[in-house]
Amino acid sequence: MLSKLAFRNVKRSAKDYVIYLITVTLAFSFIFAFNLMSNSKEILNLCDIMNNFAIVMYFVNVFIIFIVCFLINYTIKFMFSKRSREFGTYMLLGIKKKKISSMFTLENIILGFLSLLISIPLGYLFSLFMSFIVTRTFGLNEIVKITFSLNPILLLLAYFIFIYLFVLMLAHHRMKKVKIYDLLYLEKQNEEKQFKKNKIRNITFVFSLIIGITAVVLFNREFKGFGTEPSFGMVLVCIILIIISIYGVTITLADFILKIVLKNKKLKYHKDNLFVARTFSSKVKTMSFTLGILTVLITFTLIALNLSSLFKAMFDYQLELASPYDISIKEIDENNIPEYINFIENEYTIEESFSYHGYKETNRDISNALGKYGGWREYDQVIRLTDYNKLLELKGDSPITLASDEYVVNVTKELGDLLVSNPSIKTITLSNGIELKQKEILTTGYTYAWGVGYGSIIVVPDDVVTDLEIGATSLIVNTKEKTTESFAKKMAKFISSNICRETEDGEEDCYSLYNLTVRGQEEANNNGFVTIISFVCLYIAFIFIATVGTILAIQSLSDSTKYHYRYKVLSKLGVRENQLNKTIFKQLFIFFIFPVFYPLIISYITVFTLNNVFNIVLTTDTIYLLYYSINVFIFILIYAIYFLATYFGFKRNIGKMEEV
């Protein structure tokens, strides 16, 4: 009978349970979709790097499940409070708490299973959408087919069982503690007010702000820029401090805003400000704990989104720097070139091939100027202007010119500053005695694409190199077709016998893969990293936004029924309907935007700081601003959907009340 009643309750109160169902279904769909992806052979086989995807996801899941527990627990609490009267009546009729509790548990299990069932096909749909994104990332012609497999379903089931065991235990505990009187007479209890005295609140606010600033400054110091190693412990301390600060500011800020509004008479009596401010402040005061958590989640969401795009940009730029050409083989024996070209021709149509020499410059003027960043070579690499221009041309850049007594040095971005300020290299003397004046210091990078182990490359007029010893010969090939990872492996095997040489003590020394760069392989690795990182970041971001949005929506909607009398009073006082709607809009808007403010600032500073590290591997110093704006926009877009849904739901609830 108990199960029958529970089942009926579910069926008949379906409308009340819509929010619950949507929440749980969405959460499980996301979990399922991401796990389906990370367990799918098709995805994992895209490239070697992707094998790590599944492992990374196990760790991320732990984190996600924690948040989903929080979310579902909140939703169950909400349903519990909505039905408190009903439970009160049960108790009044002499039904024992244990029985009511097991009925509620049963209901939740039924609903949970329902959501679980829906979430499997829905999650599959999500994963199809995601595989479309992956297809785009990898530039594949065909969409990767995701096949159903047992593993992610079992994982989902395991997560489901864990989450429900946990939240239902909490629910059971809540039921055990609750008094019949509270159920019957207090529709819903608010969270405890955190601050009884204004002074304590003010101190907390200032203190939290100071903690926040300190944390941000410390964090910034850890990421000063190239060459500084941030200590893990310090970063962790910063993160904890930032979380404390976010929490502290959130629970005190609303009162501050209220104070300002109330002190200023003009502001106070302007339109509905007084009503909105008071409503808002009472709301924040009673749910500051939850709001604090939400604010932290929003901060994480924004940072996760930004990290995802920063990493993507970084990898894209790295890819371009490392392999601007389809195939390049460095430091080879000149005699092997025809053999290599032959091998490549078996697989691809060669558009252009080009080989050039790097010359040894043993004075090491440039390396000396770079100090410890000068690299491990015993000489600087010099290449002829004609070769250099050809290299530029092959990657689609325009050539440079040099007078007969000039040189140009090209270094990687992070080293540029070291050279610019150095007067000793205004003129350099090559090992053959020729003096050259510095024309320019280029920081376009690519030095690693042109030679192994060089942070710098010296470009000199053609005839200057005559007496210099040839250091290395390199071959560059552009193919018509796209190169692949598997070709890279074949090629590496093919050349490995030739690029290994005997050292003085008779051992074989191989540089194999360092010498061979195949764009297809680099791309695959790059895409693998990008996919893993952006999936993890997006996974976190989506679940967090969903959590925040749902909790805010649930809060507002339950308020709309609980405090409908407030709006009734307003309407009795002569506020017209459209004016009332405006007030509701304003109030919800503030409620939704409030937990976003501080995270926007914090995440901006964090991204700004991280940019200190990333900018050397990003195309420009300020590109992160673009990413930041785009990510904030994406966040606001999804957030706005929740906001609008809440607004219309709220309006409908208030409207319904007026009819009654």
Partner 1 sequence: MKVLRLENVKKYYGTTSNITKAVDGISFEVEEGEFVAIMGASGSGKTTLLNAISTIDHVTSGHIFVGDKDITELKEDEKADFRKDNLGFIFQDFNLLDTLNIEENIALSLIINGENQNKVDEKVESITSKLGIQDVLKKFPYEVSGGQKQRCACARALINKPKLILADEPTGALDSKSSRLLLETMESMNQELKATILMVTHDAFSASFCKRVLFLKDGKIFNEIIKGEKTRKEFFNEILDVLTLLGGDVGNVK
Interface contacts to partner 1, rule CB under 8 A: 1-2, 5, 8-9, 12-13, 85-86, 88-99, 180-181, 184
- The Cα-based distances of 117 to 23, 66, 171 in angstroms read 14, 21, 23
Q: Which is nearer to partner 1, 177 or 197 (CB)?
A: 177
For tokens 């910063």, name the residue: 238
- Residue 58 CA to residue 282 CA, distance in Å, equals 41
- The Cα-based distances of 51 to 32, 532, 534, 536 in angstroms read 19, 10, 15, 14
Tell the smallest beta-carbon distance from residue 86 to partner 1 (Å). Answer: 6
Tell the smallest beta-carbon distance from residue 12 to partner 1 (Å). Answer: 4
Q: Which is nearer to partner 1, 221 or 652 (CB)?
A: 652
Tell the smallest beta-carbon distance from residue 4 to partner 1 (Å). Answer: 9
Tell the smallest beta-carbon distance from residue 1 to partner 1 (Å). Answer: 5
Q: Are 595 and 250 in contact (CB under 8 A)?
A: yes
Q: What is the DSSP string of 22-57?
A: HHHHHHHHHHHHHHHHHH-HHHHTT-GGGHHHHHHH
- Residue 647 CA to residue 629 CA, distance in Å, equals 25
Tokens of 63: 């984190």
Q: Which is nearer to partner 1, 1 or 573 (CB)?
A: 1
- Residue 522 CA to residue 484 CA, distance in Å, equals 9
Q: Is the dihedral of CA 154, 159, 164, 165 positive or negative?
A: positive
Tell the smallest beta-carbon distance from residue 99 to partner 1 (Å). Answer: 7
Q: Which is nearer to partner 1, 89 or 137 (CB)?
A: 89
Q: Which is nearer to partner 1, 86 or 414 (CB)?
A: 86
- DSSP H stretches of helix in 40-147: 41-44, 51-82, 84-92, 97-138
Tell the smallest beta-carbon distance from residue 89 to partner 1 (Å). Answer: 5
Q: Which is nearer to partner 1, 184 or 322 (CB)?
A: 184
Tell the smallest beta-carbon distance from residue 555 to partner 1 (Å). Answer: 24
Whose CA is closest to 129, among 149, 144, 147, 117? Answer: 144
Q: Which is nearer to partner 1, 8 or 576 (CB)?
A: 8
Q: Which is nearer to partner 1, 2 or 470 (CB)?
A: 2
- Residue 304 CA to residue 392 CA, distance in Å, equals 37
For tokens 């510095």, name the residue: 438
Q: Are 567 and 580 in contact (CB under 8 A)?
A: yes
- Residue 81 CA to residue 73 CA, distance in Å, equals 12
- Residue 171 CA to residue 174 CA, distance in Å, equals 5
Tell the smallest beta-carbon distance from residue 648 to partner 1 (Å). Answer: 24
Tell the smallest beta-carbon distance from residue 660 to partner 1 (Å). Answer: 11
Tell the smallest beta-carbon distance from residue 138 to partner 1 (Å). Answer: 52
Q: Which is nearer to partner 1, 16 or 467 (CB)?
A: 16
Whose CA is closest to 492, among 344, 352, 353, 355? Answer: 344
Indicate the DSSP class of residue 482: P
Q: Are 476 and 515 in contact (CB under 8 A)?
A: no
Pairing of strands 470-479, 327-329: antiparallel
Q: Which is nearer to partner 1, 4 or 266 (CB)?
A: 4
- The Cα-based distances of 581 to 269, 576, 649, 651 in angstroms read 19, 9, 12, 7
Enumerate residues 6+ apart whose C-beta is below 8 A from 546.
23, 26, 27, 30, 71
Q: Which is nearer to partner 1, 12 or 41 (CB)?
A: 12
Q: Which is nearer to partner 1, 107 or 523 (CB)?
A: 107
Q: Which is nearer to partner 1, 92 or 641 (CB)?
A: 92
Whose CA is closest to 26, among 548, 634, 535? Answer: 548
Q: Which is nearer to partner 1, 37 or 100 (CB)?
A: 100
Tell the smallest beta-carbon distance from residue 81 to partner 1 (Å). Answer: 16
Tell the smallest beta-carbon distance from residue 655 to partner 1 (Å). Answer: 18
Tell the smallest beta-carbon distance from residue 110 to partner 1 (Å). Answer: 14
Q: Which is nearer to partner 1, 104 or 223 (CB)?
A: 104
Tokens of 526: 């790059």
Q: Are 305 and 630 in contact (CB under 8 A)?
A: no
Phi-psi region of 396 (alpha: psi -120 to 50; beta: other; left: phi over 0): left
Q: Which is nearer to partner 1, 9 or 611 (CB)?
A: 9
- Residue 242 CA to residue 425 CA, distance in Å, equals 45
> b/e map of 297-313 (b: 16 or more CB within 10 Å)?
bbbbbbbbbbbbbbbbb
Enumerate residues 6+ apart whose C-beta is below 8 A from 594.
253, 254, 280, 284, 291
Pairing of strands 406-411, 456-460: antiparallel
Q: Which is nearer to partner 1, 150 or 660 (CB)?
A: 660
Tell the smallest beta-carbon distance from residue 92 to partner 1 (Å). Answer: 6
- Residue 306 CA to residue 296 CA, distance in Å, equals 16
Tell the smallest beta-carbon distance from residue 183 to partner 1 (Å). Answer: 9
Tell the smallest beta-carbon distance from residue 550 to partner 1 (Å). Answer: 24
Tell the smallest beta-carbon distance from residue 94 to partner 1 (Å). Answer: 2
SS3 182: helix
